[in-house]
Amino acid sequence: MRRWLPLLPALLITVGLFGGGLLLSVVQSLGYAPALGQTALNVDAYRALLADHTFWASLGLTAWVATISTALAAVFGTGLALLLHRAGRAAPGHAARLRFLAGLTLPIPHLVAAILTLLLLSQSGLLSRLTLAAGLTQGPQDFPALLYDPRGVGIILELVWKETPFIALNVLAVLSGLDPRLQDVARSLGAGRWSRFTGITLPLVRPALLSSGVLVFAYTLASFEVPALLGATSPTTLPVLAYRAFTDADLNARATAMALSVVIALLGGLLVWAYVRAQAAGRLR
């Protein structure tokens, strides 16, 4: 009990704010709205969601964006960590400077990063103007439409850009603690670069890679500002769909917004629960 006391203030705030908000969302999603004269609990909002093809399209797009963003960020983050680790070993005096440069994008808010992505990748953006100046395109219409597309390409590009350094720094922390003699022994036994990576490096960094990947997936699952700025009008992701329902002039749509919020929280909670259970069972070691 004594070891939990230092964590008690943080736990109380987290449980009070998140737990209270989640409980209120669940109650309102069940139709409880005294201001509207609705006091009987029901599951009409959930039933309507399951029958709405817009919900399923949004769920599919949300899962697609979260999965692809996390997978690409994991691949690029691991590659960046390996490059930084090798550069740090070659020039130990610059290792801290390289880590600082790699993490420069972390403090940038996603809202700002989304606006920068808009200025860079839109058909009238900087990259389009450069291709026009280089004679590669004849105008904005020739530049590929990377933003506002139904497959979420612009959303994925922004999320990969922002989350790759986060995963890289987590993996790099593990790489920095590995005994370099493991690589030397494997090399002396004839193991090639790919064999050393898959047989030694990847298993050792896998816990850090998985834990950071779960965090990135959970974040992208509930991300609102990036899909709202860079995504298509339809289909859109679940958080944007929930916001539209919440701000609907018809207050009866409030139950739908809360039901969507509960679904998002459940998906994120199930992911974290599955990861913790798998880790406790030793299946991720």
pTM here is 0.87
Q: Please, are residues 157 and 146 in contact by the beta-carbon 8 Å criterion?
A: yes
Q: Please, are residues 85 and 176 in contact by the beta-carbon 8 Å criterion?
A: yes
The token duo for 64 is 């697609």
**SS3 of 277, please?**
helix
Q: What is the pLDDT along the chain (285 residues), one digit of tens a residue?
A: 666 677 788 778 878 888 888 898 999 999 888 888 888 889 999 999 999 999 999 999 999 999 999 999 999 999 999 999 888 877 777 777 777 888 888 889 999 999 999 999 998 899 999 999 998 888 888 898 889 988 999 999 999 999 999 999 999 999 988 888 888 888 888 888 888 888 888 999 998 999 999 999 999 999 999 999 999 988 999 999 999 999 998 888 899 999 999 999 999 889 988 888 888 877 666
Nearest Cα residue to 154 out of 77, 218, 68, 71: 68
Q: What is the CATH number of the domain that holds 253?
A: 1.10.3720.10
Look up residue 109 and give its amino acid. P
9-31 burial by CB neighbour count: b if 16+ within 10 A, else e? eeeeeeeeeeeeebeebeebbbb
Identify whether 123 is part of a domain: no
Q: Please, are residues 205 and 174 in contact by the beta-carbon 8 Å criterion?
A: yes
Identify whether 53 is part of a domain: no
Tell me which DSSP letter residue 232 carries. -
- Give the CA dihedral 117, 225, 163, 206, nearest 10 degrees: -150
Nearest Cα residue to 70 out of 265, 269, 268: 268
Nearest Cα residue to 241 out of 58, 43, 49, 4: 58
Identify whether 48 is part of a domain: no
Identify whether 42 is part of a domain: no
Q: How many CA atoms lie within 13 A of 269 on its CB side?
A: 9
Identify whether 159 is part of a domain: yes
Identify whether 231 is part of a domain: yes
Could you tell me the residue range of the domain that residue 85 belongs to?
58-109+145-281
Identify whether 45 is part of a domain: no
Tally of domains in the chain:
1
Q: Please, are residues 130 and 42 in contact by the beta-carbon 8 Å criterion?
A: no
**Following DSSP, what letter does each residue of 105-157 receive, concatenated?**
TTTS-HHHHHHHHHHHHSTTSHHHHHHHHTTS-SSGGGS---SS-TT-HHHHH
Q: Please, are residues 200 and 184 in contact by the beta-carbon 8 Å criterion?
A: no
Residue entry with tokens 């917004």 = 257
Nearest Cα residue to 149 out of 36, 266, 233: 233
The token duo for 57 is 């399209």
The token duo for 258 is 């809360």
Identify whether 137 is part of a domain: no
Cα separation, 15 vs 19, whole angstroms = 5
Look up residue 158 and give its amino acid. E
